[in-house]
Chains A and B, each alone.
Chain A
Amino acid sequence: MNFSDYFYYPFLIGTIFLFVVVFGRFIKWFIGLSKIDKMRVRIGLFSTKTLKSVWESIREGLLHHNIFKTNKMLGYMHMSLAFGWFLLIVVGHIETSCYHGTMFFPFQHSIFFRYYVTEPVDFPGHVFFSYAMEILLFFVLSGVMLAYFKRFRSKTFGMKRTTRMRYGDRIGLTALWLIFPTRFLCETFTAGVYHNGSPIFNSIGSAFASIGNLEPWLNPLWLLYSVVLGVFFVAMPYTRYMHIPAEINLIFLRNWGVTLKERRVNTFTLAQVYSCSRCGICIDACQLNLAGIKNSQSVYVLKNIRNKNLSDEVLFNCLICGKCQEACPVGIDVNKLRITQRIETTRQYNSSYDYLKTGKAKQTDMIYFAGCMTHLTPAIKKSMLKILDAAGENYWFMDENKAPCCGRPLMLAGQYDAAQKLIDNNTKMILDSGAKKLLVTCPICYKVFKEDYHLPNIEVVHHSEYILDLVKNGRLKVNPSEIRAVYHDPCELGRGSHIYEQPRELLASTLTLVPMDREREKALCCGGSLANTKISMAERDILSGKAMEEFASYNPDVVVTSCPLCKKTFSKVNSVPVKDLAEVVVNSMKQE
């Protein structure tokens, strides 16, 4: 048997294996989706959503637009590898088609074109193709070089840390790192012997040829190229490189409307988990690093879910602040994934909240629900009540005496059954009251009322929205002052509920708001998050202290937030006074 008849087998076997495993997984994931999700896929398939997904796949899967936004070097590295490789395949295929004069030729001919075509050629555009393919290879190689460099000096990429790897990943990584340098050697050596490249590779080949006889090297090199390709393809489904097909799959599923439900663990979880490229961007986004917690970041949780070795210690050591979710270039729904896992691993306690059932709703148009944390920060509660009085609002203070929890802290801990009891009880009270509006002073309550309660025709408003409306409608007068302030975005209100502008607009009407580098989507967590049940008090204090230090560096007179928990957390470390925006508003009313 000739060498040319079998050298491409490793590549071919690898490719077939890869397609079988990857599509096998896609099918398995599809089967595991809920009925509704399946229907969404069927409807979405023939809609513009599919076109949108194609575009998004190109933008994210090939061009890596989101990584570019975070870090240009890292973006270039991913783009040169993904987009460059993609072009190599496409352009290579066109080149081979032109050579054969047909679209139909043995598959391996385009991949190993320079192996097969060593004689002088004369098909249309052959000069262009030989130049293009070589330049593309240089493009990909530049990405590979950056990848080498990043492994050893991740700081150059503006990344403080890079992910730790498993044994299997090392095989995949080594194969990937070898593919393009090997191809380079194959093609330049071949060009050195047969002069079948463009002047670029021909001259490099000649330079190599001047050192020794290249011909005996050709077959082993082409075989090696085939083997590293094959090894990479076989390794891919079992390493992080599975993210390449999985991310495309995720983009389509997401656009078709498939969503992650905390309560229902289905295969969409896996579709997300496998889409993680372990790029490590989430590690740098995580504040827990400051407290020396280095094993519970999202990338590790996703890896642990995939490898089925997730421990509670890792799962629950997270603030669920959402900073990593905001930073994730793949858009993996890490917050929900984590909560889903928490529900899975937590024993559901059969807590009784029967004592709440004795409460009776009062007929009203508007409810004020303070929540546990506002009750623990009475200055906020008192200020809110003053504002309501000043506006002449007719309201019912629902949890003035009997104070049921909104349920969110339990949900964050994975206790969904218990939370549901509270939700049911509160829902009944709210609906019985006939209210049209539900006002809350706590973003934790706000998020759960908005997302997990079924309150038809009732508008849930955070006090930042509500007070801003009062001021805009002239129902409340605030006075400008000389105060300089920075505004701290609470996680649940900002990243959690996308309310960034209303508090700022409200504050700007009474004081000077100093912008900060890290705010809005990039805002720091106060460190007091109820979602983390593993962190120690001392570790929390480090997070709060560092955040406070950052605020203080802007020399504000006051740090304003709109979450009672943030306020309370910062009160331990405050070098600058911390106030809720309700307090600020009341102060500015006093000046009259």
Chain B
Amino acid sequence: MKNIVVVGGGIAGVETACLLAESGNHVTIIERSDKLGGKLNQWYCLFPDFKKSDEVLDYIHNRLKNFDIEVKLKSVVENVEPNGNGWFIYTGNVRYAADAVVLATGYDLFDATRKEELGYKIYDNVYTQADIEAKFKSGNLKTSYGKDPERIAIVHCVGSRDEKCHNMYCSKVCCVTGVKQAIELAKFLPKTEIFCFYMDLRMYDKHFEELYRSAQEHHNIQFIRGRVSEVSESSDNRLSIKTEDTLSGRPMKMKLDMIILLAGMEAKKNTLATAKLFDVETEESGFLKSKDFHLGAGILSRKGIFAAGTCISPMSIKETIENARSSAFQVNEYLKSL
């Protein structure tokens, strides 16, 4: 029986752990926070089919019950020592022996205060998509003035594809998140006008394009191609944005009651520290570097260390689960070769 340590108990970590336990290994999950499921806990529902996040979380928790997996909550990897072909991993005053390690440390949401011009945490009623998911959960979508918003803007690509905040890559899931949230909002608030300000919309996966089309056809959501340059507060306590409608080539201003910033996915700061402990390479963007883009996704630069989920790159839930399964397979292959 081999020992495996999975760092991170989000959906990627748990799914990998379950599959590895299923194939007869002894698996330990080390999770920083006090519960499993990661960021998904904060989400209300998922694109493209509006499946409730809880259903995915339930799946994860139920699955976990079938196996004898040791879950260490509120723990972080503090030190790593080589041990033959494997490692000793220290957390608190406990030592785990591991023949293989899976890093499933997840992502950070881009800190929208870094784009000061968008007014996040400066003006009321400027939110990120994560804040809105929490609002969906609570069922309260009123503005801070206690009114239903008459007009909402959803701003795409905040902290993604933006040289000015060092993030050159595309977070890829925010486009469809924006479309999904626009539709949800339209359902919650049928009288509200909703605008999406985008650079281009990347509807890369199955059903996404249809969702986008439906947003325009059935939910009257307006898509304006242009980046929002600044947000300000007008004297009547409404928000005001400046942008350019790049299709008609006109600068425009708009008064609004709520702004939702689609913050991108960033490599987690903790992932960098963990990568250092395990001596594996990261990319310039901070995400973990796979051995080969095409054939070695999830296999890291050091033998016996693997990665799963959004610590490799931005991913949807569906892709994260797929990726976790593929990583589990890679780990098993590796263990056989020992």
Name the contact of B114 in the complex, choosing from A376, A379, A572 (C-beta under 8 A).
A572
Given contacts A378-B122, A378-B230, contact A571 B116 (CB under 8 A): yes
In the complex, what's the smallest C-beta–C-beta distance from A378 to chain B, in angstroms?
5
Q: In the assembled complex, which residues on chain B have CB atoms less than 8 Å from the CB atom of A571?
A: 114, 116
Kindly identify, within residues 106 to 141 of chain B, every residue whose CB is under 8 Å from any CB belonging to chain A: 114, 116-117, 119, 122-123
Question: A382 near B122 (CB under 8 angstroms)?
Answer: yes
Chain B residues closer than 8 Å to A378, beta-carbon distance? 116-117, 119, 122-123, 230-233
Asked whether B294 is an interface residue with its Cβ less than 8 Å from the other chain, the reply is no
Report the bound CA distance from A571 to B110 in whole Å.
Answer: 14
User: B211-252: which residues lie under 8 A (CB-CB) from chain A?
Assistant: 229-233
A-B CB pair tally, cutoff 8 Å: 37
Task: Name the distance in Å between B290's Cβ and chain A's nearest Cβ.
Answer: 24
Closest B-chain residue to A574, C-beta based? Answer: B114
Please state if A377 and B163 are interface contacts (CB–CB under 8 Å): no
Give the distance in Å from the alpha carbon of A379 to the alpha carbon of B116 in the complex: 7
B277, CB-defined interface residue at 8 Å: no
Which of chain A's residues have a CB closer than 8 A to the CB of B119?
A: 378
Partner of B166, one of A375, A377, A541: A541
* Any A CB within 8 A of the CB of B273: no
| Chain A contacts with B in 360-383, Cβ cutoff 8 A | 375-379, 381-382
Residue contact A376 to B166, C-beta cutoff 8 Å: no
A376 x B116 contact (CB < 8 A): yes
A537 at the interface (CB under 8 A from B): yes
Residue of A nearest to B120 (CB): A378
Closest to B115 in A: A571
Interface string of A559-577 (1 = CB under 8 A from B): 0000000011001100000
Interface residues of B in 144-164 (CB under 8 A from A): 163-164
B254 contacts chain A at the CB level, 8 A cutoff:
no
* Chain A residues closer than 8 Å to B164, beta-carbon distance: 537, 572
Contact of B230 among A376, A401, A537, A567 (CB under 8 A): A376
A568 to B163, CA, bound (A): 14
A379 to B113, CA, bound (A): 10
Q: Is the CB of A381 within 8 A of B232?
A: yes
B residues near A572, Cβ cutoff 8 Å: 114, 164-166
Contacts known (A381-B232, A537-B164, A572-B166); A376 close to B117, Cβ less than 8 A: yes
Whether A375 lies near B232 (C-beta < 8 A) is yes
Residues B116 and A377 in contact, CB atoms below 8 Å apart = yes
Residues in A whose Cβ lies below 8 Å from that of B122: 378-379, 382
A-facing residues in B93-117 (Cβ within 8 Å): 114, 116-117
Which of B114, B163, B165, B230 is A375 in contact with, Cβ under 8 Å?
B230
B224: min CB distance to chain A, Å: 20
In the bound complex, CA of A379 to CA of B231 (Å): 11
State whether B163 touches A537 (Cβ < 8 A): yes
Cα–Cα distance between A93 and B182 once the two chains are bound (Å): 92
Once bound together, how far apart are the Cα atoms of A541 and B284, in whole Å?
14
Q: How far is the CA of A401 from the CA of B119 in the complex (A)?
A: 16
Chain A residues with CB under 8 A of B117: 375-378, 568
Shortest CB distance A544–B (Å): 11
B116 contact from A401, A537, A568, Cβ within 8 A: A568
CB distance from A327 to the nearest CB of B (A): 31
Nearest opposing residue in chain B for A564, CB measure: B116
Chain B hits for A379, CB < 8 A: 116, 122
A537: which B residues are within 8 A, CB to CB? 163-164
- Smallest beta-carbon distance A291→chain B, Å: 15
Q: How many angstroms from the CA of A541 to the CA of B119 in the assembled complex? A: 23
The complex places the Cα of A568 from the Cα of B119 at a distance, in Å, of 13
By a CB distance below 8 angstroms, the chain A residues around B231 are 378
In the complex, which residue of chain A has the Cβ closest to the Cβ of B168? A537
Beyond known contacts A377-B116, A378-B116, A378-B119: 14 more, CB 8 A cutoff: A375-B232, A376-B229, A378-B117, A378-B230, A378-B231, A379-B116, A382-B122, A382-B233, A401-B253, A567-B116, A571-B114, A571-B116, A572-B164, A572-B166
Can you list 28 A-B contacts with CB-CB less than 8 angstroms, sorted by A residue number?
A: A375-B117, A375-B230, A375-B232, A376-B116, A377-B116, A377-B117, A378-B117, A378-B122, A378-B123, A378-B230, A378-B232, A378-B233, A379-B116, A381-B232, A382-B122, A382-B123, A382-B233, A401-B253, A537-B164, A567-B116, A568-B116, A568-B117, A571-B114, A571-B116, A572-B114, A572-B164, A572-B165, A572-B166
5 closest A-B pairs by CB? A376-B117, A537-B163, A378-B122, A377-B116, A378-B119
